Copies of this chain bind each other. A is one copy, B any other.
Amino acid sequence: MSAGTLDKNTTIDLRKKHVGPSCKIFFSHDPIKIVRAKGQYMYDEKGQRYLDCINNVAHVGHCHPDVVKAGAQQMEQLNTNSRFLHDNLVLYAQKLQATLPSKLSVCYFVNSGSEANDLALRLAWQYTGHKDIITLENAYHGHVSSLIDISPYKFHQLSDAEHNPSVHVAPSPDVYRGKYRADHPDPATAYADEVKNIIEKVDKKGGKIAAFIAESLQSCGGQVIPPVGYFQQVAKHVREAGGVFIADEVQVGFGRVGSHFWAFQLQGDDFVPDIVTMGKPIGNGHPMSCVVTTTEVAEAFMSTGMEYFNTFGGNPVSCAIGLAVLDVIVKDDLQGNAVRVGRYLVSQLEKQKEKHSLIGDIRGCGLFVGVELVRDRVKLTPAAAEAQEVIYKLKEQHILLSADGPHRNVLKFKPPMCFSAEDVDEVVQKIDHILTEGRRLRPEQSTRSSTHQTRQTRQDMKPPVRKHI
């Protein structure tokens, strides 16, 4: 193979020629060519190191030797479909189940978060016999057609005629910028009542709710942490209407929140979803994914007599890799690290907030942290261009961070789980420097109460980094 030998411009030219133009690249005016990675560091073709604050897929660290070894050894032995018995499949299902409430006991192995969420919808439709889906504002659940339908993050770009009339959008439970904020006496109930209202409206029009789906913490939607108790109340309303609760853990599961293995567990032990979908970190980059549900839902799905077969899903290599990832999370105490380093990251960012008025909000759990930039702390005017500037200047200094949310003004931290206190110091110091420098160049910004529209990003920063890795 001649891989790894092209000069960068040739790589760019070939990509333009042969890769779909809808497939965007980071920093398109000056993209990065990464040739190797280890832990939380990536290296370009010149050997330059980048600190990776964003690759939540490389969960236990890029190229973790235990994961690589498990995959390579199994590839040598056998890689076939799940129509044959194999121990890796059942041992992995058993081990994964052990991280969940006992009621969630039946697994379906698939290849991607998109396949998982689509299957979750199929399970919900079949189990309930209903059709309507409630999703959250700014949600992103995947790229297959059924999921574009339930992803306002995507479908807001389409015309009204293209919206699926069976999909209903509830307000994002965002207590910083949303409809009910931190000063509300009971935002959990207020947001859950919005879902209840939708159910009632759908009912009046003759619809029936099949499912409510939400990420346990909204990621692309702007690192939103729903108020505790919200999911319990939503689940109550949805189940009373005959629907199920689907928790999408594709971005936030596998211990990222530190204190718990699954982010939905932050809501309390009294909350158990009917269906959980997982993906990205599950195989540390290997294409695999899973849906877990109850025996009741699984049996209803079987009752049609329609077989479910997924060619690659649950193959021995994927399961060997999945098992290794679960082992490494424990062995390397990555949940403990997420608690400690996440807490340190938030504390260091809080100091920056005291210093820079551009920082409006810091929120997160473990190594899932959002920093919302605003031009005015009262009016919450989104500082999208400034967020882009931070991202681009960090990139020049070899740190990878991204901005997301509906206004693209939320800096998103979701690094490999081996991220260290030293890494926190490095990135926070550089953010401090960039914000200080920015204030020096645009002194009016730090104090004014801007009411005008978010400025366009600078020409050389376009297109804005819109991402959901």
A residues touching B (Cβ–Cβ < 8 Å)?
Answer: 1-6, 8, 11-12, 14-15, 17-26, 31-37, 42, 55, 57-58, 62-63, 67-68, 70-72, 75-91, 93-94, 97, 105-109, 111-115, 118-119, 121-122, 143-146, 148, 154, 157-158, 279-280, 284-288, 298-299, 301-302, 304-315, 317-320, 323-324, 327, 466-469
Contact A314 B77 (CB under 8 A): no
Q: Which residues of B contact A2 (CB under 8 A)?
A: 91
Q: With A17-B105, A84-B32 as given contacts, are A143 and B310 in contact (CB-CB < 8 Å)?
A: yes
Bound complex: CA of A2 vs CA of B70, how far in Å? 12
- For A324, the closest partner residue in chain B by CB is B1
Q: Which residues of B contact A6 (CB under 8 A)?
A: 87, 90-91
Q: How far is the CB of A56 from chain B (nearest CB, A)?
A: 10
Q: How far is the CB of A172 from chain B (nearest CB, A)?
A: 20
Q: Which residues of B contact A70 (CB under 8 A)?
A: 1
Q: Which residues of B contact A324 (CB under 8 A)?
A: 1
Q: How far is the CB of A136 from chain B (nearest CB, A)?
A: 19
Contact A90 B11 (CB under 8 A): yes
Bound complex: CA of A319 vs CA of B35, how far in Å? 14
Q: With A11-B90, A24-B307, A71-B71 as given contacts, are A33 and B84 in contact (CB-CB < 8 Å)?
A: yes
Q: Which residues of B contact A308 (CB under 8 A)?
A: 20, 22-23, 143
Q: How far is the CB of A435 from chain B (nearest CB, A)?
A: 25
Q: How far is the CB of A114 from chain B (nearest CB, A)?
A: 7
Q: How far is the CB of A267 from chain B (nearest CB, A)?
A: 25
Q: Which residue of B23, B122, B284, B309 contacts A82 across the interface (Cβ within 8 Å)?
A: B23
Q: Which residues of B contact A158 (CB under 8 A)?
A: 304, 306
Bound complex: CA of A94 vs CA of B17, how far in Å? 9
Q: Which residues of B contact A304 (CB under 8 A)?
A: 157-158
Bound complex: CA of A162 vs CA of B189, how far in Å? 36
Contact B18 A78 (CB under 8 A): no
Q: With A87-B3, A115-B115, A307-B22 as given contacts, are A79 and B285 in contact (CB-CB < 8 Å)?
A: yes
Q: Which residue of B20, B91, B121, B317 contacts A107 across the interface (Cβ within 8 Å)?
A: B20
Q: Which residue of B25, B107, B146, B318 contacts A84 across the interface (Cβ within 8 Å)?
A: B25
Contact B78 A63 (CB under 8 A): yes
Bound complex: CA of A85 vs CA of B4, how far in Å? 11
